[in-house]
Amino acid sequence: MTEVRIPLIGERFPEMGVQTTHGKMKLPEEFKGKWFVLFSHPADFTPVCTTEFVGFQVRQEKFKELDTELIGLSIDQVFSHIKWTEWIKDNIKVDGKAVEIKFPVIADDTGRIAKMLGLIHEAKGTNTVRAVFVVDPKSNIRAILYYPQELGRNVDEILRMVKGFQVSDKNGVAIPHNWPNNEIVGDHVIVPPASSENEVKKRKEAEKNGEMECFDWWLCHKKV
């Protein structure tokens, strides 16, 4: 019997057919070659979830600039999703403009997908928790976040994560705390520590040439 468990960071996002407010889709095939962020919410027509959906939509263009798509999910029916997004458009304004939810929302009324992705935490009830899956263009899961129902997410942090992954992948570097506003290195990124004596010598030479700055050979940083 095949073991059934939730996916982990570094694994491929599981294949699944889903019904959304934009029609049927196959994941992760739908977003092949792009980054995507899948986020679950406890239920439609709930206060905190409404603030989150508005937050994601307001920043959708920033995600698109990073070639990143958004897709929501809850265990409500597609009819509920459609009615709720209509309500948001009719009742919520940001900077004087109505908020129209333009990203698809998965209807998981059977709970099948929620179980596959580990979104039902029994101690918190039968609704989906606030989960986030960040998936790269190769359909590999790069990050998983879980929030309880009572705490709304920081969408700017999720946007920062996607930016950080892309900078890391492109430059072979690590991303410091609160980048690009780190207290120690500012908007610099971290150069991976040297793993041999020869690399330590090269690191010191690179510092002399102004290619990077170092507190020590194992803690170096640079601008990208």
Q: What is the pLDDT of residues 40-61, one digit of tens each?
A: 999 999 999 999 999 999 999 9
Here the CATH number for the domain that contains residue 222 is 3.30.1020.10
User: Which of these three, 153, 180, 211, is where a domain ends?
Assistant: 153
Identify whether residues 71 and 31 lie together within a single domain: yes
Active site residues: 49
Determine whether 96 is exposed, middle or buried from the number of CB atoms within 10 Å of its CB (0-12, 13-18, 19+).
Answer: exposed
Identify whether residues 29 and 84 lie together within a single domain: yes
- Residue 40 CA to residue 114 CA, distance in Å, equals 9
Identify whether residues 68 and 103 lie together within a single domain: yes
Identify whether residues 129 and 176 lie together within a single domain: no
Identify whether residues 40 and 77 lie together within a single domain: yes
Give me Rg for the CA atoms of the chain: 20
Mean pLDDT of the chain: 94
In-domain check, residue 224: yes
Query: Smallest Cα–Cα separation from 151: which of 47, 81, 44?
Result: 47
What does the pLDDT read at residue 126?
Answer: 73
- Residue 65 CA to residue 213 CA, distance in Å, equals 30
Predicted confidence (pLDDT) at residue 155 exceeds the cutoff of 90: yes
Q: Among 11-25, 44-58, 190-204, which stretch is predicted with the lowest mean pLDDT? A: 190-204
Predicted confidence (pLDDT) at residue 93 exceeds the cutoff of 50: yes
Predicted confidence (pLDDT) at residue 185 exceeds the cutoff of 70: yes
Predicted confidence (pLDDT) at residue 3 exceeds the cutoff of 60: no
- 26-41: average pLDDT: 97
Predicted confidence (pLDDT) at residue 31 exceeds the cutoff of 80: yes
Predicted confidence (pLDDT) at residue 35 exceeds the cutoff of 60: yes
Identify whether residues 73 and 149 lie together within a single domain: yes
Domain span at residue 122? 16-153
User: Which of these three, 153, 187, 216, is where a domain ends?
Assistant: 153
pLDDT confidence band for 80 (50 / 70 / 90):
very high
In-domain check, residue 127: yes
Identify whether residues 181 and 85 lie together within a single domain: no
What does the pLDDT read at residue 4?
Answer: 57
Q: Among 55-59, 90-94, 121-125, 126-130, which stretch is predicted with the lowest mean pLDDT? A: 121-125
% of the chain at pLDDT higher than 90: 85
Here the CATH number for the domain that contains residue 26 is 3.40.30.10
- 135-149: average pLDDT: 96
Identify whether residues 112 and 216 lie together within a single domain: no
In-domain check, residue 164: no
- Residue 224 CA to residue 211 CA, distance in Å, equals 11
- Residue 12 CA to residue 22 CA, distance in Å, equals 24
In-domain check, residue 162: no
The residue that leads in pLDDT, 21 or 4, is 21
In-domain check, residue 134: yes
User: Which of these three, 153, 182, 205, is where a domain ends?
Assistant: 153
What does the pLDDT read at residue 125?
Answer: 73
Identify whether residues 20 and 121 lie together within a single domain: yes
Identify whether residues 142 and 223 lie together within a single domain: no
Identify whether residues 110 and 46 lie together within a single domain: yes
Identify whether residues 133 and 62 lie together within a single domain: yes
In-domain check, residue 158: no
Predicted confidence (pLDDT) at residue 82 exceeds the cutoff of 70: yes
Predicted confidence (pLDDT) at residue 1 exceeds the cutoff of 50: no
Quote the number of domains for the chain.
Answer: 2
In-domain check, residue 52: yes
In-domain check, residue 74: yes
- 115-127: average pLDDT: 83
**SS3 of residue 44 by DSSP:** coil
**SS3 of residue 50 by DSSP:** helix
Is this model's pTM higher than 0.85 or not?
yes
